[in-house]
């Protein structure tokens, strides 16, 4: 079994966070997966599920507060979609990757052998546990500062790309209801080198163009085109 003890082994993680725990036991608990705990109850710290439960609420509050106070004054439904996206398993796992959280997990032999360090569910849950531990050790203000720094690129990227909002599904449901048919997306232009390609996508309904948009990925361009199509349909 792999065991990370508080001390030098977690210095790298704490440097990534920009925070050093006063109570190293909290940090160790946050990094202890239940698989390790169940294999070594006599030696292990408590596993991190209680901290995960706490951290889930803490990160949710911090993200919602930040979005709520933005000058754009997003509606409740948009806030809900943005929050749901930003605290989703893939986003949390990505952030866990940025701080190399997987290297510091304490996993049981079975979980280790089946690739537990790479599982998005384990990484996202551990990040929430770590945020719960931060809250208990450093208080809300310090935790807010760290969470917003960690989530900064994800928040900005979601707002810019519209990934948090499923315009394509909304457009599909609307066109089925009103016209009994589905929209069609077509790539009408590709520009730039392969690693810097920009796609231009148009969305059509029964041959009529409803919206055109660009994006660095086809999905991003389709989402933006769907948003424009919804705006157009709303004006008709």
Q: Which residues are catalytic?
A: 56, 128
List the alpha helices (DSSP H) in 18-88.
Answer: 24-30, 34-39, 49-68, 76-86
CB distance 132 to 30 below 8 Å: yes
The Cα-based distances of 148 to 40, 41, 70, 108 in angstroms read 35, 35, 13, 32
Please name which of 23, 32, 71 lies closest in space to residue 50, comparing C-alpha atoms. Answer: 32
CA–CA separation, 121 and 17 (whole Å): 21
SS3 state at 215: strand
177: number of CA atoms within 13 Å, CB side? 7
Q: Name residues whose C-beta falls within 8 Å of residue 19's C-beta, 6 or more positions apart in sequence.
A: 134, 138, 142, 146
CA–CA separation, 193 and 210 (whole Å): 28
CA–CA separation, 57 and 131 (whole Å): 10
């Amino acid at each position: 079994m792999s065991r990370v003890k508080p001390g030098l082994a977690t210095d790298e993680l704490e440097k990534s966070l920009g925070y050093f725990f006063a109570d190293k036991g909290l940090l160790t608990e946050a990094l202890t997966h239940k698989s390790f705990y169940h294999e070594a109850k006599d030696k292990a710290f408590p596993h991190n599920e209680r901290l995960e439960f706490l951290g889930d609420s803490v990160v949710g509050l911090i993200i919602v507060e930040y979005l709520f106070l933005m000058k754009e004054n997003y509606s409740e439904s948009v806030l809900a979609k943005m929050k749901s996206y930003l605290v989703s398993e893939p986003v949390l796992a990505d952030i866990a990757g940025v701080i190399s959280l997987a290297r510091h997990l304490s996993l049981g032999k079975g979980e280790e052998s089946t690739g537990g360090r790479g599982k998005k569910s384990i990484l996202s849950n551990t990040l929430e546990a770590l945020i719960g531990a931060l809250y208990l050790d450093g208080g809300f203000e310090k935790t807010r500062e760290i969470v917003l720094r960690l989530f900064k690129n994800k928040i900005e990227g979601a707002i810019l790309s519209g990934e948090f909002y499923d315009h394509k599904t909304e457009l599909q449901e609307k066109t089925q209801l009103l016209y009994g048919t589905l929209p069609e997306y077509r790539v009408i232009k590709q520009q730039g080198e392969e690693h810097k390609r920009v796609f231009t996508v148009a969305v059509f309904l029964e041959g009529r163009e409803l919206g055109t948009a660009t994006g660095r990925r086809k999905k991003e361009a389709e989402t933006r085109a769907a948003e424009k199509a919804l705006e157009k349909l709303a004006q008709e």
